[in-house]
Structure formats: structure tokens, C-alpha cells
């Protein structure tokens, strides 16, 4: 078959296709040139930074947390070198699979995985995210020798340690992992990379001082993701060391005296308001919380009827009982309702005119004729029933208010409660009921609606001791920035309680002296071999009310319904240095159960003073 050929047509078709190809190549070349121009000229700086970012990363340097010391330089809280397991998300292909593998070999558990997933939201993908804290040296060594996990590493860090265990836990508090509220509250930039913050006590109160300031370091990685260079851009500033007014020896002595009991012992410096001992029992171990408390320990704390986490020294509110009688007596003297010569006959009970009910004295046989000093020394209820009735609740309220009852003291740890100083207005607001005369009588002996904390009693007793100087109690006395001198933190000046006649104050103090030294003083057993002078007041506070004819028999009551034992005092009498307040829950008589504890704490204080 003869082939038919059309050369002109073929050349035309070929030319058209050639032109089309050139146009297509031109368009592609133009696009490529424009793209190169965009990359190299227009967005040169942006992509240069992005390229460097794949090699260079800025990550936070967490500062070393400040230490906490007692007044004598003994360590209360410090840091210990430890190791933690970390995971860097951008270097791990399958995070879930890696976590499961780590769990299988026993390095982590479900709780660690859950915590990691929570923390992951706070970090960027190139950060080393903590996976497990406080690895043992054996765990660390085994992991490093056989590590097959890319992106999982071990790094050193400083672990918070409380070397005295349970001692002073209600003062120091503890640190624990940050929660959602913490992350919102604290400065995000300064806390990036931080895992722990103060949760209670001094650790929480002065968190920002203890934390310090984050630094920044730059790391460079090669194409395989391995770090090849590290450069510090800005060094971290370590947290400040804190020095507290607490005397650890005094603290431990007080804790030992309350071992196995529920109660509190507070001792303050009369001259400046510094808190020397702030004890609440029972206690718990703050080290439990640092890396996450175990389920067993948490359950024990939550289910304990004794509520170990309650700081009774500032949050426990109790009827002050007879420990408030010196302040009530002073009010009567200063207001001219009584004089130091006024006497009341005590038959063992008191009756209001035209009222059938009897208000019993603790001594059913009565005290006979007593003056203001006798009534304090012997703790005569009838004298104070009569005085309260003569003054009325408003006058009594106004005078007790001078001693800071019913208000927070302002101590520098969180959680303090203010107690109740009742009045007609208070009852109307809180109970929507009128005030009754009988309620005035029982407030006069520190019962009824009136409540206070052990700290409030110590502060009020100190104010009585130094003739009206009411100090705001404080714990922080000094701070030290790394490599700098210790800096003193001045306290607030005292508020002066109005004094109408200093002789009235001296008469009340004499009554408290007779409590210790008079033949009928309720704490007379304390004066045996006493090497310093002591003024005090015993107290017994009822947990529930008794009918007029009902007799209190402790043995027949449930332990938690028995009376609280109290004691307040100060020493020496002429030049007071230390004031103390003690409450032992449901222990009974303040004379036998609280006062002897005060003697032992004060003995330690004065023996140390002589030794030093």
C-alpha cells in the first residue's frame, strides 16, 4: 500500500506543538524563578530564622529553689541532687508506643503517664518533658546502659527535701506538682519548666522569693536531632534563702510533748512578736507530697478523725476558757467597774436576780471571799460571772477587742482563722437572735460563743506581759540572696493598747504570778525548782454545756466530748521574754495536763539561753 504524505501539514502541527512546549516551559520557569525570588529575597530573613530554628532551640533554665533555715541556721528545707526521666516529643515518632514500652520494662506506671499527658500541654514539642522524678541510681544506670529509646533521656535536677521529717510541717508546709490553678496564678514565662510550687505554709507564703528567676539556654542539634552545642543566653537566678524565727530545738521539744495527742503549743517573743514555736499535732510527713503522695498515705490523711493536715495553731478555734480571765479582769479594773480591793463571795455558784438557773463554779464548794488577784490565781468562775454581769457584753467586747480577739493576727503563713468575739450585733447578724444576760456571764469565763486560736492566745498573753504592746506575729526574719549578705526583714511596730492606770496591769500580772506561787494557785505545782519567774493562767474549756444540776464525769464521756486543757503564761515576770499558749484537746484539767507542758518548753528555752 502506497503511503500518503502531507509535509506542509506535518510541519504546521510540529511548529504548533513546539510553541506550546516553549510556552509551558516558560511558565514553569517563571513560577520557579518567582518562588526562588520569594524565598531568597522577599522572605529571606523569615526562612533563615526558620532554618536556624530547626537547629537552634531556646529552652528555660529552672532556678535552684531557696533553702529554709530556723533562727539558729538549722536546715528546715533544702534541695538534693536527683535524677528524672524525660521525653522530647519532637524526637519520638510514636509517643504512645514509647510510653507503653517504658511501662512494660517497669520504669513508669499509669500515674506517670497520666501526669505526663497533663504536663505536655504546658511544654513545646522540643522541650524535655518530665516523665518520672526521683529515679534511683540503679534505675538511672540501667537505663543509660541499655537505652534504646530515641528522645527519652535522664537528666539531673534538685529534689526538695525536708530533713526533719514531720517536724515543723505546719510551719514550713511542702511543695508539690503544679496544678491548673497554679499554672494560671504564677507568671507563665518565669515558671516555664518548673514542676513544683509551694502548696502550704512558708513554702506557699514566700513562693516567689524561694523560686527565683528562670534563665534561658540555647541548644544546637545536628540533622539527626542530637545536641551538639549548648550556650547559656541568660543564667537562672537562684531563689532566696529564708531564715525563720522558729527555734527548731524548742519546736521539737513541744512536738514530743504532744506526741499521740491533738493539740497545739505556740511560743512568741514578747519583745518583737517573733514566733519561736508553732506546733500542731498530729503531724504528717511533707516529703510524701514532693513527688506525688501514695494512695495509701493519702487515704490515711483523708480518713483520719484527728485531721493531721489541720494546722490547729492558726486554724483551730477553741473556747479560751479561763485563760481569758486576766483580760476580763483588766477590763473591769480599767473601766472602773471594780478595784483591786473589790471582793466577791463565791458559794460555788452564781444566780442572776429573778432567774432560777444556777451558773456553777468549777469548785462546787466555792472559794469564799476573793478579790481580783485571788480570782485569777484560783480561777474563780463566780467572781467573773459577777464582773461580766456588771460590765455587760458590749463593754467586755470592746476591751477584749484591744487584744485582737475575734480577728486574724496577720501571721505570715496562709490559712489563719480569726475566731469569734461575740457581741449583740454579732449574734443578730449570725444567729438572728437577741442577746441574753446569761450569755454575757459565760463569755466572762471564756465559754459560749467566744473562740480563739492558740496563736491568738499567745499574742494576747504577750501583749499583757509587755504592758499593752500588741505585736503582729511573724515567722520570716531574714533573707539571703545568693552570694550576698543576709538581710533583716523588719517587723511591724506594736499597736499600743490604751492604758488608763498601769497599776491595773500590774495587779493582773500579780494575779497570774500567784497562779504559780500562791498556796491556792491552780498551777502551784510548777514552781518547784523553777529557775526563772513565771506568770500564768490555767484553763479548762467545755466541749458541750451541762445542766445546772448535772455533774461532769470525764470517765463516762466519749473521749472527744471531754474538756480541753489550756495554759497561757510568760517569763520572766519583771522583764518578759517569752509568752506561751497551750491547748490539749479533750485532755481535761489545764492545771494537770497543759501547765506541765509549758514548764518543760520554757525550761528548754532558758537552758539554751544560759548555754549560749
Q: How many domains does the chain have?
A: 2
One-character DSSP codes across 317-356: -B--GGGGHHHHHHHHHHTTS--TT--EEESSEEE-TT--
| Mean of pLDDT over the chain | 90
CATH of the domain at 210: 3.90.1310.10
| Together in a domain, 236 and 344 | no
Which pLDDT does position 1 carry in this prediction?
43
**Domain-embedded: residue 207:** yes
Query: How does pLDDT run across 218-266, given as a tens digit for each residue?
Result: 777 665 556 667 788 888 899 999 999 999 999 999 999 999 999 999 9
What residue numbers bound the domain in which 491 lies?
Answer: 248-285+304-569+579-611
| Together in a domain, 513 and 530 | yes
Cα separation, 587 vs 171, in Å, equals 24
Q: Is 6 helix (H, G, I), strand (E, B) or coil?
A: coil
DSSP 173: -
Which pLDDT does position 330 carry in this prediction?
98
| Together in a domain, 235 and 86 | yes
Radius of gyration of the chain (CA): 36
Which pLDDT does position 230 carry in this prediction?
76
Cα separation, 133 vs 86, in Å, equals 9
Q: Do strands 56-61 and 368-370 pair parallel, antiparallel, or not at all (unpaired)?
A: unpaired
pLDDT profile of the chain (612 residues), mean per 10: 62 78 84 79 62 65 94 96 86 88 86 84 77 81 79 84 96 93 90 90 97 86 64 89 98 97 98 98 95 87 94 97 98 97 96 91 95 97 98 98 97 96 97 96 96 98 97 97 92 95 98 97 95 97 62 63 93 97 94 96 95 84
The residue among 194, 216, 244 that closes a domain is: 244
CATH of the domain at 489: 3.40.710.10
Whether pTM exceeds 0.95 = no
| Together in a domain, 181 and 266 | no
Which pLDDT does position 599 carry in this prediction?
97
Which pLDDT does position 539 carry in this prediction?
96
Neighbours of 549 (CB within 10 A): 7
Joined grid coordinates for residue 288? 510524701
Cα separation, 557 vs 539, in Å, equals 19
Which pLDDT does position 54 carry in this prediction?
53
Joined grid coordinates for residue 305? 478523725
| Together in a domain, 238 and 254 | no
**Domain-embedded: residue 32:** no
| Together in a domain, 437 and 565 | yes
176 tagged catalytic: no
| Together in a domain, 221 and 269 | no
Which pLDDT does position 2 carry in this prediction?
47
**Domain-embedded: residue 42:** no
Joined grid coordinates for residue 361? 463554779
* Catalytic annotation, pick one of 322, 375, 453, 591: 322
Query: How does pLDDT run across 193-230, given as a tens digit for each residue?
Result: 888 999 999 999 999 999 999 988 877 766 555 666 77
Amino acid at each position: 500500500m502506497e503511503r500518503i504524505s502531507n509535509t506542509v501539514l506535518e510541519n504546521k502541527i510540529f511548529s504548533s506543538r513546539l510553541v506550546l512546549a516553549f510556552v509551558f516551559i516558560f511558565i514553569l520557569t517563571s513560577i520557579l524563578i518567582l518562588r526562588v525570588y520569594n524565598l531568597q529575597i522577599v522572605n529571606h530573613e523569615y526562612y533563615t530564622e526558620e532554618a536556624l530554628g530547626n537547629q537552634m532551640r531556646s529552652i528555660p533554665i529552672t532556678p535552684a529553689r531557696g533553702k529554709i533555715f530556723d533562727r539558729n541556721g538549722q536546715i528546715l528545707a533544702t534541695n538534693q541532687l536527683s535524677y528524672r526521666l524525660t521525653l522530647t516529643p519532637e524526637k519520638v515518632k510514636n509517643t504512645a508506643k514509647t510510653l507503653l514500652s517504658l511501662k512494660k520494662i517497669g520504669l513508669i506506671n499509669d500515674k506517670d503517664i497520666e501526669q505526663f499527658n497533663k504536663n505536655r500541654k504546658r511544654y513545646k514539642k522540643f522541650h524535655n518533658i518530665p516523665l518520672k522524678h526521683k529515679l534511683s541510681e540503679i534505675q538511672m544506670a540501667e537505663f543509660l546502659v541499655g537505652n534504646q529509646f530515641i528522645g527519652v533521656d535522664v537528666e539531673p535536677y534538685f529534689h526538695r527535701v525536708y530533713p526533719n521529717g514531720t517536724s515543723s510541717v505546719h510551719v514550713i508546709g511542702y511543695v508539690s506538682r503544679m496544678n491548673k490553678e497554679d499554672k494560671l496564678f504564677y507568671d507563665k514565662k518565669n515558671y516555664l519548666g518548673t514542676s513544683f510550687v509551694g502548696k502550704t505554709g512558708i513554702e506557699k507564703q514566700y513562693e516567689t522569693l524561694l523560686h527565683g528567676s528562670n534563665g534561658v539556654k540555647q541548644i544546637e542539634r545536628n540533622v539527626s536531632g542530637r545536641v551538639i552545642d549548648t550556650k547559656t543566653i541568660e543564667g537562672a537566678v537562684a531563689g532566696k534563702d529564708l531564715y525563720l524565727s522558729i527555734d527548731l530545738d524548742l519546736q521539737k521539744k513541744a512536738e514530743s510533748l504532744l506526741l499521740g495527742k491533738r493539740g497545739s503549743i505556740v511560743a512568741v517573743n514578747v519583745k518583737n512578736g517573733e514566733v519561736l514555736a508553732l506546733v500542731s499535732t498530729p503531724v504528717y510527713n511533707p516529703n510524701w507530697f514532693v513527688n506525688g503522695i501514695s494512695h495509701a498515705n493519702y487515704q490515711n490523711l483523708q480518713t483520719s478523725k484527728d485531721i493531721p493536715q489541720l494546722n490547729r495553731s492558726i486554724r483551730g478555734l477553741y473556747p479560751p476558757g479561763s485563760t481569758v480571765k486576766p483580760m476580763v479582769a483588766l477590763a473591769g479594773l480599767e473601766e472602773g467597774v471594780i478595784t483591786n480591793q473589790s471582793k466577791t463571795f463565791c458559794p460555788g455558784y452564781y444566780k442572776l436576780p429573778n432567774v432560777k438557773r444556777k451558773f456553777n463554779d468549777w469548785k462546787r464548794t466555792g472559794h469564799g471571799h476573793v478579790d481580783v488577784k485571788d480570782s485569777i490565781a484560783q480561777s474563780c468562775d463566780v467572781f467573773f460571772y459577777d464582773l461580766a454581769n456588771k460590765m455587760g457584753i458590749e463593754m467586755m467586747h470592746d476591751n477584749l477587742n484591744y487584744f485582737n480577739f475575734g480577728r486574724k493576727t496577720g501571721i505570715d503563713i496562709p490559712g489563719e482563722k480569726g475566731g469569734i468575739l461575740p457581741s449583740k450585733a454579732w449574734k443578730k447578724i449570725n444567729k438572728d437572735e437577741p442577746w441574753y444576760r446569761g450569755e454575757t456571764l459565760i463569755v466572762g469565763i471564756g465559754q459560749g460563743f467566744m473562740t480563739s486560736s492558740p496563736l491568738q492566745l499567745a499574742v494576747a498573753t504577750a501583749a499583757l506581759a509587755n504592758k499593752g504592746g500588741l505585736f503582729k506575729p511573724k515567722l520570716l526574719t531574714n533573707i539571703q540572696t545568693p552570694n550576698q549578705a543576709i538581710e533583716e526583714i523588719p517587723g511591724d511596730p506594736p499597736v499600743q493598747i490604751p492604758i488608763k492606770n498601769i497599776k491595773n496591769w500590774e495587779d493582773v500580772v500579780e494575779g497570774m504570778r500567784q497562779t504559780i506561787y500562791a498556796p491556792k494557785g491552780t498551777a502551784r505545782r510548777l514552781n518547784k525548782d523553777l529557775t526563772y519567774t513565771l506568770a500564768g493562767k490555767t484553763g479548762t474549756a467545755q466541749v458541750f454545756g451541762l445542766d445546772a444540776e448535772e455533774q461532769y464525769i470525764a470517765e463516762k464521756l466519749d473521749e472527744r466530748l471531754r474538756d480541753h486543757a489550756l495554759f497561757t503564761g510568760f517569763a520572766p515576770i519583771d522583764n518578759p521574754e517569752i509568752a506561751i499558749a497551750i491547748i490539749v484537746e479533750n485532755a481535761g484539767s489545764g492545771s494537770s495536763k497543759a501547765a506541765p507542758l509549758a514548764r518543760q518548753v520554757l525550761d528548754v528555752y532558758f537552758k539554751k539561753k544560759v548555754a549560749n
